[in-house]
Structure 1
Amino acid sequence: MNLVPIFKDLVLVGGGHTHALVLRKWAMNPLPGVRITLISPQALTPYSGMLPGLIAGHYSFEQTHIDLVKLSLWANIRFIQDSVTAIDAASNTLELKNRPATEFDVVSIDIGSTPNQSIEGSAEYTTPVKPISEFYQRWNQIQKHAQQQKIRSLAVVGGGAGSVEVIMAIAFKLKQFNTSIQYHLITAADDILPGYNRTVIKRVKQQLKKYHIEIHSSTRVARLGQNTIYCQNADSIVADEIIWCTQAAGSTWLQQSQIECDDAGFMKVRQTLQSLSYEHIFAAGDIANMVANPRPKAGVYAVRQADTLFHNLRAVLLDKSLLEYRPQDGFLSLLALGEKRATGSKSLFSFSGDWVWRWKSSIDNKFMHQFHQLPVLPMASATMINPALIADAEKTEQHDPLKRCTGCGAKVSASVLQQVLNDVLGIGYYQPQDAVRISNNAEIIYQSVDALNACIDDPWLFGRIAVNHALSDLYAMNLKPESAQLLITLPYAGQSIQKRQLKALLQGISLQLETLQCRFVGGHTSEASELSVGLVVNGILQDKPLFNKQGLNPGDKLVISKPLGTGVILAAAMQDKCDGVIFNQAIHSMLQANDQAARVLSKLNVKACTDVTGFGLLGHLHELCLASACSASLNLNAIPCLPGAEALARKNIKSSLYAQNLKTFAAMQWPDAITQQSRFNLLFDPQTSGGLLAGIPAKTYIELDKSFHQQFYTIGEVLAFDDSLVRIQIQDT
């Protein structure tokens, strides 16, 4: 429970090295009253220094990537997986590709760079090295093609450190497939590795020769075609695969903003890492152009900017003095040579060998270890809000949650509410009344109510999940959702933050209601310690059979539409024990409404159905069995589970409602061979926005086609009740 009101929004765009370090530092020393949001199109962000080792097969994918979802859950920050498409610096707004815009008070940008693909054909016929996540997918395809002897020639365009490391790593890896490939390294410069000392260049050239990599220096690419590189003043080069690793470029959306950028699209920043144009906008890593002290694009600068950025983000929020970042003049440079050897230099000194590889690997692994082994965070000690974070107009208000009004005094202000409703629904859509007419139809109306405390720190996604969870009761009866009223409880916060929170929440709710053709007709808002959403939903009868809990018959096949495991995954996330991929798959499941499942079941003479939510699969199946005076047999191995859920259950992670759900079945005796399996625990796992559980008549089930079995899992059968046996039998065959 967070009793600290939020007054400022700090948004980090991009999961680069600098931001990853800043998040780790912030988690260890948070600033009460500030909410951080991380926006990144990838949930797993690569460490560029280990890319050659990943290509060569020296490291696994997991070793070379930072799990941003897991990091965010650990650091207690909000993570949004999306791409920024525009920034409005004047209104403090970021436009996103797949969801509504988000607002900020302070923003920092660390989105890296991409190879410049301005040359004709480069975007269509080459694979850029960055973003690394997209390159790695293509690299996996290249390996398959090489194994199938489909690649005879491969070219890398670019002559810098990244280019030579990439082509040597590729040559080392593909050599293992006994392939005969001609490699080309193409650079417009007079020689490779400009800026490096002659000894390092000589050693790299020796390694390139060992891998039969031909160097094309002073060769400028004019244009590209299918499998062909057309060069200026030189013959064209044929290559089945072309890797683009040229001079980097910045982001188009930054160039199109009011923020001052250089010709290549990099944001111009001061010594404090602030934009030249706006003091509340920062940049770090490759995307930043340090105007006073220009430096090459190198990860060492990004890493060392973290301390300065961490201090200055806090300072600008608190209106304190900022520090200047002073980049070093030179740095240790280590280049991987494909195999487990490396060469490097520092000033006039150079070195090479196996030991240099081990040195480089040790440095890289040490950096990644701090994200793979996240420490237990200390309990928050400081909860007092710095007055500098509070708007002048709100400084006289009572901000201690324990002393704020309850009862009607806990309502969200009318101005905030009306403005958000106008923003989300349009001016005039919602006219306040003391009561509303919930239906314009004469049909019989069924009503249900449900409520959820926020299970994720993303109000837009949470709003959509809350709608799915509440409407599931209507789909479980084969009703058509008609209208919904909301009961929203917002956490204590400053008015601007409260408005943003409510707006994002209502945007998610209204989107999901509109998608499911259910009208929003009103509601109530209040304040409390945490975000929660309740919905009163109304459904009407269709010209289709009504599902109920009394309709099971012996011989019916039991089917379920969604895997189990959201409860244990959400519990693991709260305990910092859940990987980001697993967490995201649970979110994806909760975002799937039950309308399609209900539509399929309504065509199959189904009489008994329910949704699987808080009482778990066994709890809800038990309700069906009692109502229908029957028993059931389940096949434990046939019950679907979300990826990672069973492994988490094996670690004895349980949702808070698990014990109560299990207690309901204390009198039932199942064999130890069943109860000792981790999957057994998931039968009692409470599900948020779970699937539909139904009985399919035996005759109907025989005739079902493949498409049905792609949507539903068959998990058991209905039996006649026998009081000498347990109500629900469980087998693992």
Structure 2
Amino acid sequence: LRGAKVTLRTGVRVTEIAADHVVLGSGDKIRSQLTVGAAGAFPHEWLAQTDLPLRDGFIETTPDLSLPGDPTVFAVGDCAAMPFAPRPKAGVFAVRAAPVLYHNLRAALTNGPRKPFKPQKRYLKLISLGEKSALAEKFDLAFSGPALWRWKDRIDRAFMDKLDDLPPMQPPALPDTLAQGARDILAAKPLCGGCGAKVGNTVLRDGLSSLQGPMDAAILSVLGDDAAVLKQPGGGFQVISADHLRALIHDPALMTRIAAVHALGDIWAMGAQPQVALSSIVLPHMSQALQSRTLQEITDAARVIFDHAGATIVGGHTSMGAEMTIGFTVTGTRETPPITLSGAQAGDCLMLTRPIGSGIIMAAHMDGTARGADVAQALNEMAEPQDRQAFHLRRANAMTDVTGFGLAGHIAAICRASRLSAEISADAIPVYSGARDLSDRGVHSSLYHPNVDNAPTRGRSDPLLHDPQTAGGLLAALPPAEAEIAIRDMAAEGKKSCIIGHLTDGEGPITVL
């Protein structure tokens, strides 16, 4: 510090930080154009609200890194205090604790012997000095210079690369004896969660082809509508739809919010006001205490979304299965006939309220190749309700929500029902961050190929058009003047939407410009 002509003052207290000076407890003012507060490690405040054993606010641990009195709970790193071997808060101890923690977690699950953590007393300190120079200290010897900075930079980057460049997960080895065709099925791409796990449109149409038409005059919906439409005896209309999702992530609360928004999409797409919801939950095998806690998390998260939408959860069904599945049956009401797929007109603009690419991002997330920030951004967007967007699109001639069949598939559904064709601009379609890069690398969801077969396109090729979406955007066909009004009104509320193309006379594949 003296070499850098820095004045060091210790044992003083700062009482005020202003834009151009700092005030000390002695009353002295030190002029400052930039004030930086550099504090040591401190415990998170939420720890004090728990019954965990604490020491100076940090979680107290024993030599095997578990808590005193509870050998099933572990703490390491900056949140932990090690009274058995006091050390400063330094990353080196967290890194060195990892193998011991791994061993002891396995031992806790298998009732095996545990290892004590013995942190070293002496460790290398490499501190950047700025201007691509660093200082190294160990055994009370200190050296500095550019070479040490390059060494530190290489060490830091190599460590971070280990967290980014994860080895691909290898599937389990198949037995030598297998039924015909089983090897191809088991060697195929793992089944995606969310709407990437849906059955293809062609299979769905074939499977439902034997259904008879409505036998009750009050049933007004046709095969392919987003929701069933019922005419109410006292006037008005009711719509009803059911949706469920295989879990995309191991977060029951966030997964519930996404599943609820996804289920409400069919109601919003028909211009109806959500009314009631029934839940359909499959919990994986777990202890009764964990079942109770998980179900409470699911219920609380669902209530937030449905309360916001103006709907009431009136019951449901819960069972146990191989994996978590969350779904809802939702009803809605509307005074006038609901918006369907068949009312679009030639010249209508096609509007979209949400980016595409969530299926690719979630598929990459399954095998560890997606960026965490991209996954988090997509999940947060998917969990946001679209009631206000639906309100501003209430004058649409046709509307649907973009889900498992991909954007092209849902545009094709409007075109088939309305006997029209469509032209869309690939550059006008919003895309989730990271999805384009993953698509260019050949990543796709397990429903991608059935979607391509269901909705062929001509012109510019874009795999993202066939990417299955979970809790995707609303896709609406509106006259140009109404579309501009809707975009303006949504923008005034901070809601994004865009025109991605228009509908034309004729029938045939979607044209991508």
Within the candidate set 660, 669, 682, 2:450 is matched to 660
Counterpart Cα distance in 2 of 1:321 and 1:375? 29
Pair 1:526-2:319 in alignment:
yes
Within the candidate set 242, 249, 263, 1:470 is matched to 263
Counterpart Cα distance in 2 of 1:503 and 1:704? 38
Give the alignment of 1:598-677 within 5 angstroms.
Answer: 598-602=390-394, 605-666=395-456, 670-671=458-459, 674-675=460-461
* Equivalent residue, structure 1, for 2:45: 252
Counterpart Cα distance in 1 of 2:482 and 2:40? 64
Q: CA deviation at 1:488?
A: 1.9
Counterpart Cα distance in 1 of 2:392 and 2:418? 22
- Report SS of the residue matched to 2:254: helix
Contact 1:270 1:290 in 2 (8 A): yes
Pair 1:583-2:375 in alignment:
yes
* Equivalent residue, structure 1, for 2:329: 536
Over 3 Å counting, the alpha-carbon distance change for 1:276 and 1:449 in structure 2 is closer
* Equivalent residue, structure 2, for 1:220: 12
* Equivalent residue, structure 1, for 2:199: none
* Equivalent residue, structure 1, for 2:498: 713
Residue 167 of structure 2 aligns with an amino acid whose one-letter code is P
Residue 341 of structure 1 aligns with an amino acid whose one-letter code is S
Residue 256 of structure 2 aligns with an amino acid whose one-letter code is G
Residue 653 of structure 1 aligns with an amino acid whose one-letter code is V
- Report SS of the residue matched to 2:86: coil
Pair 1:273-2:65 in alignment:
yes
Counterpart Cα distance in 1 of 2:110 and 2:132? 48
* Equivalent residue, structure 2, for 1:688: 470
Counterpart Cα distance in 2 of 1:528 and 1:514? 28
Over 3 Å counting, the alpha-carbon distance change for 1:255 and 1:358 in structure 2 is same
Contact 1:566 1:686 in 2 (8 A): yes
- Report SS of the residue matched to 2:271: coil
* Equivalent residue, structure 2, for 1:295: 87
Within the candidate set 346, 353, 363, 1:561 is matched to 353
Over 3 Å counting, the alpha-carbon distance change for 1:304 and 1:555 in structure 2 is same
Over 3 Å counting, the alpha-carbon distance change for 1:513 and 1:375 in structure 2 is same
Q: CA deviation at 1:596?
A: 1.3
* Equivalent residue, structure 1, for 2:148: 356
Over 3 Å counting, the alpha-carbon distance change for 1:532 and 1:287 in structure 2 is closer
Over 3 Å counting, the alpha-carbon distance change for 1:276 and 1:491 in structure 2 is closer
Over 3 Å counting, the alpha-carbon distance change for 1:632 and 1:310 in structure 2 is same
Q: CA deviation at 1:625?
A: 1.5
- Report SS of the residue matched to 1:240: coil
Over 3 Å counting, the alpha-carbon distance change for 1:320 and 1:480 in structure 2 is same
* Equivalent residue, structure 2, for 1:497: 290
- Report SS of the residue matched to 1:711: coil
Over 3 Å counting, the alpha-carbon distance change for 1:453 and 1:694 in structure 2 is same
Q: Residues 588-634 of structure 1: CA distance to partner in whole angstroms, max 9, x if unpaired?
A: 221122311111012xx322111111111121111212221222221
- Report SS of the residue matched to 1:661: helix
Q: CA deviation at 1:465?
A: 1.2
Contact 1:219 1:232 in 2 (8 A): no
Over 3 Å counting, the alpha-carbon distance change for 1:321 and 1:623 in structure 2 is same
Pair 1:374-2:152 in alignment:
no
* Equivalent residue, structure 2, for 1:516: 309
Q: Residues 512-535 of structure 1: CA distance to partner in whole angstroms, max 9, x if unpaired?
A: 222212222222222322222332
Contact 1:219 1:234 in 2 (8 A): no
- Report SS of the residue matched to 1:244: coil
Where do 5+ consecutive residues of structure 2 fail to align? Answer: 174-231
Contact 1:490 1:530 in 2 (8 A): yes
Over 3 Å counting, the alpha-carbon distance change for 1:627 and 1:233 in structure 2 is closer
Q: CA deviation at 1:708?
A: 4.1
RMSD: 2.6
Within the candidate set 145, 157, 165, 1:365 is matched to 157
Counterpart Cα distance in 2 of 1:556 and 1:509? 35
Contact 1:259 1:277 in 2 (8 A): no
Pair 1:242-2:24 in alignment:
no
* Equivalent residue, structure 2, for 1:460: 253
Give the alignment of 1:189-204 within 5 angstroms.
Answer: none
Give the alignment of 1:398-477 within 5 angstroms.
Answer: 443-477=236-270
Where do 5+ consecutive residues of structure 1 fail to align? Answer: 1-203, 382-438
Counterpart Cα distance in 2 of 1:714 and 1:284? 51
Q: Residues 40-74 of structure 1: CA distance to partner in whole angstroms, max 9, x if unpaired?
A: xxxxxxxxxxxxxxxxxxxxxxxxxxxxxxxxxxx
Q: Residues 540-586 of structure 1: CA distance to partner in whole angstroms, max 9, x if unpaired?
A: 123x5631222111221111111111111111111221101111121
Pair 1:345-2:137 in alignment:
yes
Over 3 Å counting, the alpha-carbon distance change for 1:555 and 1:648 in structure 2 is same
- Count of residue pairs brought into register by the alignment: 451
Over 3 Å counting, the alpha-carbon distance change for 1:260 and 1:713 in structure 2 is same
The worse-fitting range, judged by mean Cα deviation, of 690-699 and 251-260 is 251-260
Q: Residues 94-131 of structure 1: CA distance to partner in whole angstroms, max 9, x if unpaired?
A: xxxxxxxxxxxxxxxxxxxxxxxxxxxxxxxxxxxxxx
Residue 34 of structure 2 aligns with an amino acid whose one-letter code is E
Q: CA deviation at 1:278?
A: 4.1
- Report SS of the residue matched to 2:286: coil
Contact 1:221 1:229 in 2 (8 A): no
Over 3 Å counting, the alpha-carbon distance change for 1:231 and 1:478 in structure 2 is closer
Q: CA deviation at 1:643?
A: 1.5
Over 3 Å counting, the alpha-carbon distance change for 1:468 and 1:441 in structure 2 is farther
Over 3 Å counting, the alpha-carbon distance change for 1:334 and 1:729 in structure 2 is closer
* Equivalent residue, structure 2, for 1:86: none
Over 3 Å counting, the alpha-carbon distance change for 1:235 and 1:511 in structure 2 is closer
Over 3 Å counting, the alpha-carbon distance change for 1:482 and 1:573 in structure 2 is same
Q: CA deviation at 1:453?
A: 1.4
Over 3 Å counting, the alpha-carbon distance change for 1:242 and 1:541 in structure 2 is same
Q: TM-score, normalised by structure 1?
A: 0.57
Contact 1:333 1:346 in 2 (8 A): yes
Q: Residues 450-494 of structure 1: CA distance to partner in whole angstroms, max 9, x if unpaired?
A: 222112221111111111111211111111111122222222333
Residue 514 of structure 1 aligns with an amino acid whose one-letter code is D
Residue 297 of structure 2 aligns with an amino acid whose one-letter code is A
- Report SS of the residue matched to 1:249: coil
Residue 168 of structure 2 aligns with an amino acid whose one-letter code is V
* Equivalent residue, structure 1, for 2:115: 323
Counterpart Cα distance in 1 of 2:361 and 2:156? 30
Residue 294 of structure 1 aligns with an amino acid whose one-letter code is P
Residue 663 of structure 1 aligns with an amino acid whose one-letter code is D
- Report SS of the residue matched to 1:549: coil
Identical-pair percentage: 34
Counterpart Cα distance in 1 of 2:233 and 2:365? 43
Counterpart Cα distance in 1 of 2:490 and 2:25? 59
Residue 662 of structure 1 aligns with an amino acid whose one-letter code is V
Contact 2:262 2:472 in 1 (8 A): yes
Q: CA deviation at 1:272?
A: 2.5
The worse-fitting range, judged by mean Cα deviation, of 628-637 and 305-314 is 305-314
Residue 381 of structure 2 aligns with an amino acid whose one-letter code is S
